[in-house]
Amino acid sequence: DAAPRTQGPATRLVIVANRLPVRWSDEGEEGGRWIPSPGGLVSAVGPAIAQRPGDAAWIGWTGAATEEEPFEVDGLHLHPVAMSDDEKVLFYDGMSNGTLWPLYHDKVVPSEFHRHWFDGYKRVNRRYAEAAAAAAGPEATVWVHDYQLQLVPGMLRELRPDLRIGFFLHIPFPPPEVFQALPWREQLAQGMLGADLNGFQTPEAAANFRRLTMRLGLAEAHGDESVVAGDRVVRACAYPIGIDVARYEGAAHDRETTERARDLRARLGAPHTVLLGVDRLDYTKGIDVRLRALKELLDEGSLNPATVTMVQIAQPSRDDVEAYITLREEVERLVGQINGDHSRVGFPILHYIHQDVEFEELMAMYRAADVMLVTPFRDGMNLVAKEYVAARYDLTGSLVLSEFAGAATELADALLVNPYDVDGLKAAIVRAVSMPPAEARERMERMRAAVEANDASEWADRFLRDLAADRERVTT
Ligand code: ADQ
């Protein structure tokens, strides 16, 4: 049975991710065009792609229901995967965001199991795998990303045993005790075992995966960071993702950013202290508990509304999924309550922005904020925490960080909190607001060293280098 092989014999590296790294812009001539959309993944794997000009392809969904031909943007071959509206509901809203996302994030909301969701997930995963198999040149490297595509490595190995296959999970991987509830636990674990290398954000997540494969009887222990499945050694270890440090530090130093930050503080009424939250509007991010802590601090008089202002950016996200609609209502109720109780005309205590924010504005916010609140109940990494640190070149500012974000491993000098502990969170906020400059400086210096030591491009290089390394043989 011949594997589907067609174009791109030269393609040495294929990235497979849920979305393509472009978006449609209506601006410009001829009714619009595709432009690069700078997300975390693009900036992280971008340098690796740039080293292979003309040799790299990206498989993903454009967001549209229509079928599209491969096209090219800035020298990168893009292969759109078609997905009908019905398939999107099963694969993306359903299995990905209604089953796996909550299950992997400590079930902050209940995880739902539906057989037709999994069938849709399987069907769409197969389409990504077939597209990757068709695009990859002989013995090429394929790097599959994230929880939406966990079956792809296994499917791809069957179609193209010649490929070197890597998988990286951007979100947490739960302990086997939690994962085992999944009716499709074997298929999902087997899917990942199809990869030569499985990367995770933390050593704990990698250990959870290795433990799971052994518990399910799919693999045996093999050294500290691998398992043996059949006749193959599968590595599973941590590759904590970083940010494009130069981009963030550069933008922070920009004169325009400085002016924008000053203007922002003036527009906020020149408060003594600006608190900031920046998240996708997601129930895992702990926005509600953070606002509850703020409310109590204001109610009790531990924070003075005459000197403190908070900005909460909540990027619209997954608004077709029920739990996100409920969260939005809860957050907006809290915002109304807090402002109703503590604002003065012309001076809201809490500025809530449920919008996408452009990069330059986000940088100005990081520069304007004295205290950054990053309090997810569970988070694979959390790049916002690292972006804030990168922006604080003058060594001012405090970071309050959840101990359940992957970033807490590297940013141990933040004020670490248990986001479920409202009193602990309140104490950390008060401590951050009143932190002596010398202490803030010391902490920020160490946090900056950690962020600088793990640049996004090095992260991708390290993963791809390890993936390319000689495969260990299993001797029986
Ligand atoms: P996310 O859950 O999306 O990512 P995060 O790591 O914080 O979380 O990345 C969000 C990105 O979006 C940041 O770069 C941030 O600047 C940007 N952003 C946030 N709000 C915005 C807004 N309103 N407008 C524009 N941009 C905004 C998933 C995992 C994380 C993991 C990353 C990368 O859940 O744990 O760190 O992938 O692996």
Mean pLDDT of 372-398: 98
pLDDT band, very low/low/confident/very high, at 1 (cuts 50, 70, 90): very low
Ligand 1 pocket test target in 43, 105, 280 with most atoms within 8 Å of CB: 280
Amino acid at 335: V
The per-residue pLDDT for 37 is 79
pLDDT band, very low/low/confident/very high, at 5 (cuts 50, 70, 90): very low
Least confident of 8-12, 141-145, 153-157, 342-346: 8-12
Contact 166, 141 (CB under 8 A): yes
The per-residue pLDDT for 6 is 42
Q: Produce one character per residue of 167-192: b if its CB has 16 or more CB atoms within 10 Å, e if not.
A: bbbbbbbbbbebbeebebbebbbbbb
Nearest 5°: phi and psi at 20?
-75, 155
The per-residue pLDDT for 34 is 85
For 457, the 3-state DSSP assignment is helix
**CA 134 to ligand 1 centroid distance, Å:** 31
The per-residue pLDDT for 4 is 42
pLDDT band, very low/low/confident/very high, at 148 (cuts 50, 70, 90): very high
- Is the pLDDT score of 441 beyond 80? yes
- Is the pLDDT score of 460 beyond 80? yes
In total, the chain counts a number of residues equal to 476
- Is the pLDDT score of 155 beyond 50? yes
Which ipTM score applies to this complex? 0.98
**CA 35 to ligand 1 centroid distance, Å:** 20
- Is the pLDDT score of 135 beyond 50? yes
**Whether residue 261 has its Cβ less than 6 Å from ligand 1:** no
Please state, for a pLDDT cut of 90, what percent of the chain lies above it.
Answer: 84
CA atoms within 13 A on the CB side of 183: 11
The per-residue pLDDT for 35 is 84
**CA 281 to ligand 1 centroid distance, Å:** 10
pLDDT (tens digit per residue) in 361-372: 999 999 999 999
Mean pLDDT of 399-420: 98
pLDDT (tens digit per residue) in 235-268: 999 999 999 999 999 999 999 999 999 999 999 9
pLDDT band, very low/low/confident/very high, at 271 (cuts 50, 70, 90): very high
Least confident of 23-32, 304-313, 388-397: 23-32
Mean pLDDT of 393-416: 98
**Whether residue 372 has its Cβ less than 6 Å from ligand 1:** no
Q: What is the mean pLDDT of the chain?
A: 93
Q: Whose CA is nearest to atom 21 of ligand 1?
A: 315
**CA 278 to ligand 1 centroid distance, Å:** 9
pLDDT band, very low/low/confident/very high, at 2 (cuts 50, 70, 90): very low
pLDDT band, very low/low/confident/very high, at 43 (cuts 50, 70, 90): confident
pLDDT (tens digit per residue) in 274-290: 999 999 999 999 999 99
pLDDT (tens digit per residue) in 288-331: 999 999 999 999 999 999 999 999 999 999 988 889 999 999 99
Mean pLDDT of 208-235: 97
**Whether residue 277 has its Cβ less than 6 Å from ligand 1:** no
- Is the pLDDT score of 422 beyond 70? yes
**Whether residue 247 has its Cβ less than 6 Å from ligand 1:** no
Mean pLDDT of 447-459: 94
Amino acid at 186: E
The per-residue pLDDT for 30 is 74
Mean pLDDT of 381-404: 98
Active-site residue list? 170, 379
**Whether residue 362 has its Cβ less than 6 Å from ligand 1:** yes
Please state, for a pLDDT cut of 70, what percent of the chain lies above it.
Answer: 97
The per-residue pLDDT for 118 is 98
**Whether residue 378 has its Cβ less than 6 Å from ligand 1:** no
